[in-house]
Amino acid sequence: MAEDKILDRLLPGRRAALKREILEHALACFNELGIEATTIDAVKTRCGTSVGAIYHHFGNKEGILSTLFFIAQDDQRAQLKAVLQKANTLQDAVYIMVRSYVDWVTDHPDWARFLFQARSAVAKGPHRQQLEERNVENYRDLKDRLFSLDRGPHEIIQSSELLPSLIIGPSENLCRAWLSGRIQVSPSEYRDQLAESAWRAIQRSQ
Instruction: Grade residue 154 by pLDDT with cuts at 50, 70 and 90.
Output: confident
CA atoms within 13 A on the CB side of 134: 15
Instruction: Grade residue 129 by pLDDT with cuts at 50, 70 and 90.
Output: very high
Closest CA to 29 of 89, 105, 127, 118: 118
Model-level pTM greater than 0.85? yes
Contact predicate 50/44, CB 8 Å:
yes
pLDDT tens-digit readout, 65-120: 999 999 999 999 999 999 999 999 999 999 999 999 999 999 999 999 999 999 99
Percent of the chain with pLDDT over 90: 85
The overall average pLDDT reported for the chain is: 93
pLDDT for residue 205? 58
Average pLDDT on 185-204 reads: 95
Instruction: Grade residue 4 by pLDDT with cuts at 50, 70 and 90.
Output: low
> pLDDT at residue 1 above 60?
no
Distance CA 139, CA 73 (A): 13
Q: How many CB atoms lie within 10 A of CB 31?
A: 18
pLDDT for residue 3? 56
Distance CA 108, CA 190 (A): 17
Distance CA 6, CA 20 (A): 10
Annotated domain spans of the chain: 2-201
Secondary structure of the chain as H, E, C letters: CHHHHHHHHHCCCHHHHHHHHHHHHHHHHHHHHCCCCCCHHHHHHHHCCCHHHHHHHHCCHHHHHHHHHHHHHHHHHHHHHHHHCCCCEHHHHHHHHHHHHHHHHHHCHHHHHHHHHHHHHHHHCCCHHHHHHHHHHHHHHHHHHHHCCECCCCCECCCCCCHHHHHHHHHHHHHHHHHCCCCCCCHHHHHHHHHHHHHHHCECCC
Contact predicate 113/105, CB 8 Å:
no
Query: Which CATH architecture fits 2-201?
Result: Orthogonal Bundle (1.10)
Average pLDDT on 34-54 reads: 95
CA distances from 23 to 27, 42, 72, 100, 158 (A): 6, 12, 11, 24, 40
